[in-house]
Chain A
Amino acid sequence: MNTSFLSALLGSALALSALGCGASATLSTPDGFATLEDQEDYLYRATSAQGVVLAIRGEKNSPKGNLDFWVGAVDGQLRRTGYVPLDKAPVEVRSAGGALGRQMRYVRDQQGRKDSFLAAVFVTESYVYTIEAGGSGDRFDDAAAAKVAESIKTFTFR
Chain B
Amino acid sequence: MASEEGGVSSLAARSFEPLDTSRENLMRTAPCSDRPLALLACFLFLLLSACGAAMPIESREAAMAPPSYGGDESMSAPMASQPMQAPAMAAPMQPGFAAQPAPSPAGAPMAAPASAKGAPTEGATEGPSAASTSPARMIIYTAALQMQTAKGEVPKAIDAIIDRAEALGGFLVNRTDTTVEVRIPSGKFRAGLASFEEVAEALHRSVSATDVSEEFHDLEVRLDNLRATRKRLQEFLAKSATIPEMLTVEKELARVVGEIDQIQGRLRFLAQRAAFSTVRVEISEKPEVAKQIASPTPTPPPPPPRAVSLPIDWLPNVGLYHLLDLD
Contact = CB atoms under 8 A, between A and B. Distances in A.
A130 B318 contact: yes
A28 B210 CA distance: 107
A36 B318 contact: no
B317 A41 contact: yes
A46 to B, nearest CB: 11
Interface residues on A, range: 20 to 34
Given A41-B317, A74-B318, A36 B312 contact: no
Contacts of B311: 63
A133 B307 CA distance: 25
B319 interface: yes
Interface string A121-134: 00000000010111
B326 to A, nearest CB: 6
Given A57-B318, A73-B315, A130-B318, A80 B307 contact: yes
Nearest to B311: A63
Interface in B276-327: 307-308, 310-312, 314-320, 322-324, 326
A155 interface: no
A103 interface: no
Interface in A96-149: 108, 115, 117, 119, 130, 132-135
Given A47-B326, A53-B326, A80-B307, A117 B320 contact: yes
A115 B321 CA distance: 11
A141 B179 CA distance: 73
Nearest to A78: B319
Interface of chain A, helix or strand or loop or mixed? strand
> Interface extent on B, as a size class?
10 to 19
A78 B317 contact: no
Given A53-B326, A63-B311, A77 B318 contact: yes
Nearest to B314: A59
Interface string B55-88: 0000000000000000000000000000000000
A134 B323 contact: yes
A132 B323 contact: yes
Interface of A: 36, 41, 45, 47, 51, 53, 55, 57, 59, 63, 73-74, 76-78, 80-81, 83, 108, 115, 117, 119, 130, 132-135
9 contacts: A41-B317, A53-B323, A57-B314, A63-B311, A73-B310, A76-B310, A81-B316, A132-B323, A134-B320
